[in-house]
Structures are given as C-alpha cells and as structure tokens.
Structure 1
Amino acid sequence: MKSKNRSWRWLAAVVVLGLLVAACGGSSGDTTSTTAGGQTTTTSGDGGTTTTQVAANPGLEGCSTDPLNCNSGPRQDGGDVIYLINQTWDGWNLNRVEGNSVYTVQALEGMQVVIGQYMPDGNWVWNMDVLASEPTFENGVITYELKDGVVWSNADGSTTPVSLDDFILQWKFLSGKPEHCNQGETDDAGNPVEGSIGCFPASTARYEDVVDVTGDGNKVMFHFPEGYKYAEWHAFFGGLYYPAHIAREQGFDIDTPEGVAQASDWFNKNVPTWSGGPYIIENATLAERVVMVPNPNWYGSEKPTLDTVTKEMISDNQSWLPALANREINGGSPASFTPDHIQQLQGMNDVYWGLGSGGAVWEHVDVNLTTLSDPALRKAILTAIDRADARTRIFGDINPQYRNNPIFPMNDPNFYEDHVEKYGYGSGDVEAARQILADAGYTGYDGGAGALKAPDGSTVPAVRFGFLASNTNRARFAELTQSYLAEIGIQVELVAAENLGALLVSPDWDLVIFGWSGSPLFTSSANQFYNSASGSNFGHLSNEQVDELVQAVLEAETLEEAADLVNQAMAIVLGEEAYTLPLWDTMNLTFVGTELVNIRDNHFDSTRAYYNLAQWGLAAAN
C-alpha cells in the first residue's frame, strides 16, 4: 500500500492505533511496509525485494509512540476469533440511508474491494493489491487503474473480474439522479415510505457531480465537470461492495432506473454471498452475527491465517467483559463504555486494552426543526443543557475532549473555530436560558417541568428525547437532560429506541443523541450533515444560505478555502438555527485477548479494529 498525507493538519491524541502502511522512500523509489508477520519488506525501484525480521510488539501500550506497529507479531496458522459488534445493523446496503451505519460497516468489513482507506496514523493509503498505479485527478477526471486478477469470489467458487460495470452501479446508487435510479417515495419529513422501492442514498455528495464513468482497459475514469475543484479527491471512492454481475443474475436490468432501484433494495435485504476481500461470509443473521471464512480466491498479498472470524452482536454492555474472561468473545471495539469497564479491565491479566480518540467520532444532540420550530426555544434548550455536569456524571475521571465545532475538533491548529461556547450552548446557564425565553415572550420557565407557556399562551408540549436504548452513556445523558430542561419549564419524555437507524428517520423525536463516525475528511461532511436535501439531515434543517455554503465547500480548490466556508456555515447552523449541540469527541475503547496479534483500533475509520482483518491471527509460539 502507498500512503497520502492526511487532510487533517493536526496530530491525534491516540493510545490504540494501527499496523500496515507503506511510505514512499528515498530517491531510489523504494517502498517499505511492516507486515503482520513481524517482518519488513523493502521493494526497490527495479522490483527486487529484501525481507528482514523486526521485533514483535505485543500489547497496546506502545500505540501512542509506535502507531504502525503496536500489538504486531508473527501468526500461527488456524484458529477462530469471535469479535464484538455492540449494536444492531438495519440492512446490508451501506449506500442507503437506513443501512448507512458504523455497525453495517463493521459487519461487512473483509468482503469488499478496498481502493484506499485511512490508516490508524491518519494517513490515507492506496491499496496496491488492487491498483496497478496510484490514482490521479487531472482535468476533472479521477482515474483508477486496476491490476489484473482483481476478482469477485462467487458463492459457487467461481470468480468474476471486477469491472467498469461495478463502478457504474455504485455511481447510480449514489448520484441521486432519477435517470440513474428511482429515488422512491418519501413522507412529508423526507423519510422512505415502507415498501417503496428506491435507492434512498445516504448522501449524494460528489457522486451527483459526476457526469460520466468510462473505462479503457483496466482503467476506470470518473468524469467531473471541466474545471471541477476537489481538494480531497483521493478519498472519493473507498471501495466496492455490490457487484453488477450479481444484480444482473438476480434479474435486475441495471441499465434502467427501475432495475437499479430493485438491485439497491435487494442488496439491502440479502446477505452477501460474494466477496472481493480476504474473507467471505459463510453464514449471517441480520443484526445478530456474521461468520466469515478465508476467501479461497483472494488475490491480495496478505493471506488470512484464521479459520473463522465471527462478528457477534452483544448490546448488553454488562456482559462484554465476562464473555471476554470466558473467551466467549476474544475482543471488541465498542461504540461506548463506562468507567466500570475500565476498572474491570485493569484486573484482567490476559487482556490488552487501550483508550484513544482521533477526533473522527463525536457525540452530539440534534434538534428536530419540524417539531421545535422556534429558534429561541431551541437556543434556550441548548443553553440549559450542562455538558460539564453530564461529562462528569457519565465518565467520572475520564475526560473526553469537548467538541465545539461539528467539523473540526479542538486540537486542529489550523481550522478549528468555536461555535458552541461562544453562544453559551452546553453551559447549563439556567438564567441565560430563561432570559432567552423571556425575550421571546415565553412564560412559566421558572415553574418546573411542564410549566412553560408559549408566547400564545399554550403549554409547550413535552420534548421527546430519543436515544439508543442499549447505549448506557446516551441513556444517562437523556436522563440528565430531564433535570436540565426542567429548570426552564420543559418536560422531557425519554424515547428509548432499539434501532437507531429507524429512530433517526422517524418523526418520533424532538431531540436525539447519537454519534457521527467518520474519517479525517471534512469537505463532504458539512454537505452530508446539513444540506437540506441530504438523507442524513435527520432533523430537517433547511436554510438556503447553509445549502449554498456547503455546496461551495465541495467546489473549493484548497483545504483552507473549504475550511473557511465550513466555519461560515457552522455560524449559521449553530448560531442562528441552534440545530445541533456537539458534546465531546468519543473516547474509543478496544480490548483483545493476549493470544491475538495484529488487532488494534483505528480511530480514523468507521471500521475501527476491523480495518486490517486480513492480518489478524493467533500469536505464533515463541
């Protein structure tokens, strides 16, 4: 693999990082990679290779200083690993709004064709097992050249070459254009209507700008308009999950919008029986488990050594560590944890564990602008919520970094601007919140929960606060919010949802707490979160100026220009609209049995520890 410098201009505060990377060497054109087997391979410009052994580096303690080698070591052949997924997933098609979750990403990891990804040190890395050369972006065209032998492995053991058709199908899934795919029927709030057949893309950013996708031999070209600006073009296309030939075999005419919509729906409802990665799914049950075995037709240089990898969904966080102690699971990288988990892990001698945060994942509260339509009421709510009190009550002595900007974390030295504390949001300042309400004509704000009266004299309805029932920290935050908002006369009803995706696209909440899990990219994020037409704009923000700014971000020529536009948009999203309250960067916890090597967290990618699944293994005997 070859690496590209990260877009973020800051160093992440991390404890658990990653494994495999190749960086460009000296003038000879050498590349060097440290592999899972505990050896370094150097490839010279003329294609010759030399291999030297490097010391194994077991455990996660060294990840902060040696992020590319921690917990590395040689593997033995064979073995079975069971790894935790801590929440359910709602489908098998990542492209769709209902399937676009971190848990779907983790469930599928290992079966896709990876073009490139962010590694645990924050650098983008091209997958040179797939690519014959590094991609380019010239004259509005991104060009990918595939190696010979990159194939899909089919359920019957046969193979099908990865082709231009696969890239075109992905474009049609995500373009949002009716000539490519029927977009399906939505309700008044913009959510998919049950039973409607459409693509329902989670985001159309960048794909909607592509004017054509063409091929020339092993080359695939994405054509953007002439003069198109794209500062983060390298991460446009991360990989392929859904083969065109499978869609055709199911009888879908993917040359028509109707056929593409039917294919999108089918891929969401059916377990993948194919693979373009190191593992293939042997059996799976939606929202429960995925069992993977090595792909017999895997073309990559790093061969899996495990017999099986089972991804087991366990939402009950009290059972994780007992299951680990009994080796009912071998490890996990859950989306949340409590201080009790840390205390228990400190007493487990046969487990490696680590905490860290790269700033790519953060918690936030969003507001439903359809039901809470008065900006003054929203501003009062966000002001009355007490982030400091909540953080202490939830995390104890663990202090995740506050998030004062939805796009840029506080330790970004170049682009960060405060868009939270400057407005008093999250301060818990009851008097300031009451004054906002008084100035807007509200009364009863000092009368306790349920006493608040709107300017027209009507009682302000109870505010429904949605959260994922199995996420203990979010449930605790919602409970605390009941007391915070009671101080300004608002009754809060808790809405504990078993399915986060279904909750977000439903109209059954006024406030909701959840996390965004991403990467060091930022030019597409604001568009996905806040564009009025985005399927991920769950609270229905609709502001023409914001739409113009986030679109301009996509067209910016430099990261500096893009960041300035982002911060202009955030001043409106928070300062004027009071649409969201960023809380804090998510602290990631990873724990893994000492019998395993090459497993560690990746704070810069939604896959988390699954990012290098091909390298996982049982530690070789000394």
Structure 2
Amino acid sequence: YSAGVITHPAHIAEARGHAEWRTDPAVMAASVADFSENPPLDYSAGPFKMTEGVLGEYAKYVPNPEWTGSQQSTLDSLTLKYIGSADAMATELRQGTIDGAAPSSFDPEVLDQLASEESIKYSVAPQSGWSHIDANLKNPFLSDKALREAIFTAIDADDVNQRAYGAAYADIETMENVLFRPDSEYWTDQLEGSTLGSGDIDAARGILEAAGYTWQDEQLLTPAGEPVTLRYRTGIEGNAFTPIIQDLVITYLAEIGIELQVDPIPNGELSSVLDEGDWDLIQFSWIETPLFAASAADYWGEGNHTGFQNDRVDAIVDELATTMDRDRAAELNNEAAQISLDEAVQLPLAWTPALVMVDKDVVNVRDNWATTMRVFSNVGEWGFIDEDA
C-alpha cells in the first residue's frame, strides 16, 4: 500500500525535548523531522504498532498487543510500501509482490488491465477529494467579479467531468454543493439558477459586455482597453485527469477571448504555490471531511488562498467557532458556500474517482470517503479468506 502517515504523539515529542512544539513553529518543525528520521516505535493508538520503517520507502507493522478495540487483527504483519504509480502497483499486484494498493491517482487504462486478471479484485468510487477551479482575487483582472463569473460560466462542468473522469467512473456527478453530498440531509442545490459551470459561451460574453469588456481580434480587453492574460496552474505529473481538464479549460476560455498561460505545478509544491498566491486560476482537489464545522474557515475564512474576503462569511466563521448545534453549523456552512459561489470565487467540479485493488483472497479492504484515513479506516479488519471455514 502507498500511504503518507504522520505519527506525532505530543507526550513523546515533549519527552524528546520538543516541549514548545505547540507554540514555536521552529520546534514543531524540528519535532516533525525527528519523528520522520526516528519513528516512535514504542507508541501506538491503533490495532498495529510500527516495528521499522524508512521515510519515503516503507513502514512495517505488527499487531498491537495493547489494542483494546473490538476487532483484533488476523494478520501477522502489515507492510506499507511506497510505489510511484498505479501502473506499477498493478504490476506488483499481478506478480504477487504486494497484496493490495490504493493509488492517489490513476489512468483509466489500468482498469482494463485489472479487469482481465482473475486473481485481482478492484473497485472505483467517488472519494473524499473534490476537484475545483479557483480564482485568485489578488490578481488585478480577477478582482473583477464579472470576469470571474464569465470565466466560470464559459467552463462546462458536466463536459469536464465526463471527459476527465467518465472513463474511470461512468456515474460521475457534477457537484451542486461544495460541502454536502446529495444523500445528506444538509444538501442544497447551491448552483440553482446560476450560469456557473454551464458552458454557455453566449451568456459568458453577455456578462462581459454588460461589464464594459470588448474584443479586438478576438482578444478580450478590459473596460480600460487592457488585454486579459491569465496563468493557469495544476499538477500534471502522475495525474491522468488534470491534463484533460487543463486542455478543456484552455478551449473554453479561448471562446471568450482569453489565452491562458499554462504553468504546471511540480510534484509536492501545491501547498507552497497556494500559500504564495503564485497562480491566477488553479485546479486541484480539497480533501473533504465529515467534520464540516470548520469548512467555512478553511475554505473562505481569513487568510484563505483565494484572497476572498466577505464580512458575512467572517461572521459565520466566528459563530461556527462557538456553536454546538450541528444543524446550525450545517446551515451556516451552506450559507458561506453560497456566498462564495455567488461571488464566483470557485467552480466545483466533482468528487474524483478513487481506485482500490487487492488480491482475490484479501477481504475487508475498502475505501471510505468519510474519513481522511480513507482505505486505512478499518485496517484492523483486513485479512485473508479462511479457505478452511
């Protein structure tokens, strides 16, 4: 299995001399480096405990004898191994060198390989990550709501999702709520009556014309006569879906006179690109969590990566920090999300497909979108078929 796991027990950090990790960023960084280089093998809060590991390569676990959970593991050991791609994972699974894999991204062509292997089981379903395109409001052009609205109107979200994700998951759905899924009691259609994601080029041009934009030789000009130029960024390497989305966005925006400068994000640099605001339009995926109370603060609160600021959203974030009412928290988060969409801060696309593949004799391994632990959420239940049962 390929996974990134950070174990950071506070009492061990303090025992190792990192007493100020809570308040001093330098001490926090030192403690993280310490744990990365010297994993705390004498600690576990789950059904397994680590016995050895090398950062970026592998980690080996055995059942935790002090685990008091209701489900006791039937495995003698569990090794998590870093493997660079879904294709490489599928190859190792076919060869029997691993028992299962859950890649962070995959090319739909790997599904054809898996389907032809009788010794492999696999499943594809929407995961906890939701894909979206954001506007950087600190960009002089994108500080204008009309331009943002026109851009997101020109993009056809249904077309993007079918072309990018449809080959991997035929039942892919375009998001209409950025916080809750359609089967949630808190779901509301936040795009009802909106042109965002419609792909309506005429409507997009109408928005621009009404705001005073013009065209010269099909190049979009601001009301002041300045050519609109934007830089579009997304992670391409190792991701089969984002290049398709990128090409479609280029095509859509060309129809309203915007020529995008494409600047791929190198692997591992998304966080720094977001923090530094080194982008105009950006496409990536947020990891969803059922603990939605903090969502408004994370996505649209003070210091958010888009530069969006709204007094009502700030008030919502303040109330969410103190409310103990779950229904009220959902209502407030929906309101904040609606404001962000009305202001054309971002365009939601879809919950991206996730692939899990295992040997046919492996049982109880499944993805769980409702937790950041994902496929590891029930790791204590993993095992092999008992052929003698």
Q: Are 1:273 and 1:281, in contact at CA under 8 Å, matched by a contact in 2? A: no
Identity of paired residues, percent? 30
Deviation, structure 1 residue 421 = 4.7
**Which residue matches 2:381?**
615
Pick closer, same or farther for the CA change 1:297–1:602 going to 2, 3 Å.
same
- Give the AA of the match of 1:431: D
Considering Cα pairs closer than 8 Å and 6+ residues apart, tell me whether 1 or 2 has the greater RCO. 2
Question: Is 1:489–2:257 an aligned residue pair?
Answer: yes
Question: Is 1:342–2:106 an aligned residue pair?
Answer: no
Question: Is 1:454–2:222 an aligned residue pair?
Answer: yes
Any residues of structure 2 matched to 1:233-312 within 5 Å, and which? 241-244=8-11, 246-254=12-20, 257-258=23-24, 261-270=25-34, 271=36, 272-274=39-41, 275-276=43-44, 277=46, 278-280=48-50, 282-285=52-55, 288-294=56-62, 298-301=66-69, 302-312=71-81
Deviation, structure 1 residue 282 = 0.9
Which has the higher mean CA deviation after the structures are superposed, 246-255 or 385-394? 246-255
Question: Is 1:84–2:22 an aligned residue pair?
Answer: no
**Which residue matches 1:429?**
200
How far apart in 1 are the matches of 2:267 and 2:216? 33
More helix as a share of residues: 2
Q: Are 1:465 and 1:509, in contact at CA under 8 Å, matched by a contact in 2? A: yes
Question: Is 1:367–2:130 an aligned residue pair?
Answer: no
Question: Is 1:552–2:307 an aligned residue pair?
Answer: no
Among 576, 580, 586, which residue is 2:352 paired with? Answer: 586
Deviation, structure 1 residue 580 = 1.2
Pick closer, same or farther for the CA change 1:290–1:563 going to 2, 3 Å.
same
How far apart in 2 are the matches of 1:401 and 1:613? 29
Question: Is 1:419–2:190 an aligned residue pair?
Answer: yes
- Give the AA of the match of 2:178: P
Among 208, 211, 217, which residue is 1:440 paired with? Answer: 211
Deviation, structure 1 residue 295 = 6.0
Pick closer, same or farther for the CA change 1:256–1:485 going to 2, 3 Å.
closer
How far apart in 1 are the matches of 2:216 and 2:376? 49
Pick closer, same or farther for the CA change 1:431–1:523 going to 2, 3 Å.
same
How far apart in 1 are the matches of 2:365 and 2:209? 55
Any residues of structure 2 matched to 1:42-441 within 5 Å, and which? 83-85=1-3, 104=4, 107-108=5-6, 241-244=8-11, 246-254=12-20, 257-258=23-24, 261-270=25-34, 271=36, 272-274=39-41, 275-276=43-44, 277=46, 278-280=48-50, 282-285=52-55, 288-294=56-62, 298-301=66-69, 302-357=71-126, 360-371=128-139, 372-394=142-164, 395-396=166-167, 398-412=170-184, 414-441=185-212
Q: Are 2:21 and 2:27, in contact at CA under 8 Å, matched by a contact in 1? A: no
How far apart in 2 are the matches of 1:491 and 1:318? 34
Deviation, structure 1 residue 296 = 5.9
Secondary structure of the 2:124 match is strand
Q: Are 2:18 and 2:28, in contact at CA under 8 Å, matched by a contact in 1? A: no
- Give the AA of the match of 1:487: E
Pick closer, same or farther for the CA change 1:321–1:282 going to 2, 3 Å.
same
Pick closer, same or farther for the CA change 1:256–1:291 going to 2, 3 Å.
closer
Structure 1, residues 265-316: CA drift from partner, whole Å, max 9, x if none?
A: 123323132432322151222xx33312226664335554545433333343
How far apart in 2 are the matches of 1:506 and 1:256? 24
Deviation, structure 1 residue 454 = 1.7
- The alignment yields a C-alpha RMSD, in angstroms, of 2.6
